[in-house]
A and B are shown apart, each in its own frame.
Chain A
């Protein structure tokens, strides 16, 4: 492997690892907040217990999310110094403002966890809202840098010089809102379905009608509502994101859809693999005219194909598969949520079929996979550019060599952390059962949130 490829793999691995914890770190506070609010409304202690248990999980996940994020932020400068030099000059605001979001999240997270029993209930809710807002803001702001990479604005680039710099114009670049919304709502999808996964699994393991069964069913219903709404929002907004690609990064959309010839009434290829030799999507299902309609809301829309670009500027063609996997999972999650809610609320059935609970168990990992596919699609699909049509990845990479050893070391640490975090979560929740927590909550004057054993 050459050094650039190692640098890309190293950074991609860091991001792929960080994103799991970061996304859950945005999604889970929303679930905790929902549970806290439901408690204030119903005074049902089971909701407090949910909030407490999710908070513990959140605190453990932050233990990995924060250091890996710190790695990501610093590695940007270490591996892509050319890129960060430009970002520092033109687009420093998101990173700068993100620091304040981190501070808010860190301060109020500690207050919510370590001072929960000493502060007034309204202050607890306020702290939690600030944690959720802080996490959301971190995600939105970091995504803005990514948006800028696709639709750079706020400067004039001439003879290698960056002139007439306007950092606010860079900040409000065209795809900011669409992309940030997509990342935010998709994080809520992940938070909700991760909870749903665990709840469904516990429902399968406990007797129908037992106290534990009912507790987990309650949690499952919250996540179906939150997750269903968010998944629906993700799809609507994802459609808009694709239209932005049509307008601003046509070769990415062409590669995502496996379209080679520029045409109106372009067909939509679902599934399959793009074949460079025959310029077709193999084993895919083709829906005539659909792509034109999706891209521009009319069948006459001309969609640009890959052959309009020199081949060395093509993004890798496998992003078609990644894109389809993300959209496929998104559609499946919407169906799951609709089915679950209809079954319970409309048909008033009292228990879910087993196959449905097993599908729910899969939904959390699938949602995380969708996030991974989406990001790899978005970052890899931008290649060979790190800033679209301005700065190439190769130009921005570090000149240092022998990155292989570092790659192995970082990979090793991620593996250790990944195993340890799963182990710690399992250990903790096995030692502190739901019943323990319910008892603690029912007895007054016992510390629930700061209890550890």
Chain B
């Protein structure tokens, strides 16, 4: 592998991790808003129990992502910075409102309801805007003038493909988060909440599959180059579809270990993660070598080799140091029965 390919793989890894964590994060915020008035099922408590300790860690990944772009591909950062000014600023504004009001809602308990609504609504819009970066990098909305590169906003917001991406982001945020929360509720022994989230997953799952098909349909017309390259990997796409079906199956079957319970959420979570992994691999591979089609490629945008080496070393050292921290964190909040099954 060339250095540039290693670098884009690292970047892709960050995008994938962030995508999974962010769907959980924004989805949990949304569900805690939806079930706010249904205290009996404790679905809101479950969402908050997940959300309170994790949102900061998730947020750090978005910063890691931005930093990775400009330290690995500075030239791409230049163009991206210029064209993403408006969508990027919109994301930042929503993110600021969302994070702050999320924290406030846990502190100012009397005003919890309006605060939860603000953070829930702002939060569910963010994935839609974040994903619009992908169609922007397909190149169709970027205009090159005399020394000026600009984003054509009018064209962006009238494109069917962009809306398909937005719809996909929002529906799969709901899908993934309800799946994970179903699993989390089950571990926490909150069966009422479990069945609520199981039902939500059954609704949002098919919608996000439908949206994925819409993306492919509109992509064929609007960014044919990437569509044909993705179709070269049709077998992989079919395997990914297979994993989606397995995860759907996991929602309906009777639990293998406990016949009284419907659904095997852990199985679904794992299958759907594999499905997204394969699908995004196919997408990412088709996108190469372009970062922004057709002008910016991973080779042309790549950083200085000395800097790359230094950055790469900090990745290895940094994650070696952080790894035990992540494990400890996980064991305290995802695994500790005392935390999960608290009645407060």
Contact = CB atoms under 8 A, between A and B. Distances in A.
Interface of A: 56, 59-60, 62-64, 66-71, 73-75, 77-82, 84-90, 92-93, 95-100, 102-104, 106-111, 113-115, 118-119, 162, 165-168, 398-400, 403, 406, 409-410, 413, 416-417, 420-421, 423-424, 427-428, 447, 450, 452-453
B104 to A, nearest CB: 5
Nearest to A10: B89
B81 interface: yes
A97 B339 contact: no
A156 to B, nearest CB: 12
B89 A410 contact: yes
B1 interface: no
A100 B318 contact: yes
A64 B344 CA distance: 27
A400 B339 contact: no
A63 B103 contact: yes
A280 to B, nearest CB: 43
A70 to B, nearest CB: 6
Q: Which size class do B's interface residues fall under?
A: 35 or more
Given A81-B81, A111-B332, 13 more contacts: A60-B104, A64-B100, A71-B96, A84-B78, A92-B310, A109-B56, A110-B53, A115-B53, A165-B304, A400-B150, A409-B89, A413-B96, A417-B100
Contacts of A59: 103, 107
B224 interface: no
A87 B70 contact: yes
Interface in B77-110: 77-82, 84-86, 88-89, 92-93, 95-104, 106-110
Interface stretch (B172-180, B287-295, B321-329): B321-329
24 contacts: A56-B107, A63-B103, A64-B100, A70-B63, A73-B63, A73-B66, A74-B66, A75-B89, A75-B92, A77-B80, A85-B78, A87-B74, A88-B303, A92-B71, A92-B311, A98-B67, A100-B314, A107-B329, A110-B52, A110-B54, A167-B304, A399-B147, A410-B93, A413-B96
Contact of A70 (B92, B107, B336): B92
Contacts of A86: 74
Nearest to B90: A409
Nearest to A77: B81
B325 A71 contact: no
Majority SS of interface residues in chain B? helix
Contacts of A92: 67, 70-71, 303, 307, 310-311
A85 B54 CA distance: 31
B93 A77 contact: no
A425 B258 CA distance: 47
B329 A99 contact: no
Given A73-B63, A167-B307, A427-B108, A118 B99 contact: no
Contact of A104 (B79, B102, B322): B322
Contacts of B16: none
A88 B59 contact: no
A311 to B, nearest CB: 29
Interface in B48-73: 52-54, 56-57, 59-60, 62-64, 66-67, 69-73
B338 A118 contact: yes
B333 interface: yes
Given A67-B99, A78-B85, A84 B57 contact: no
Contacts of A162: 304
A100 B80 CA distance: 24
A413 B93 contact: yes
B341 to A, nearest CB: 12
A233 B67 CA distance: 33
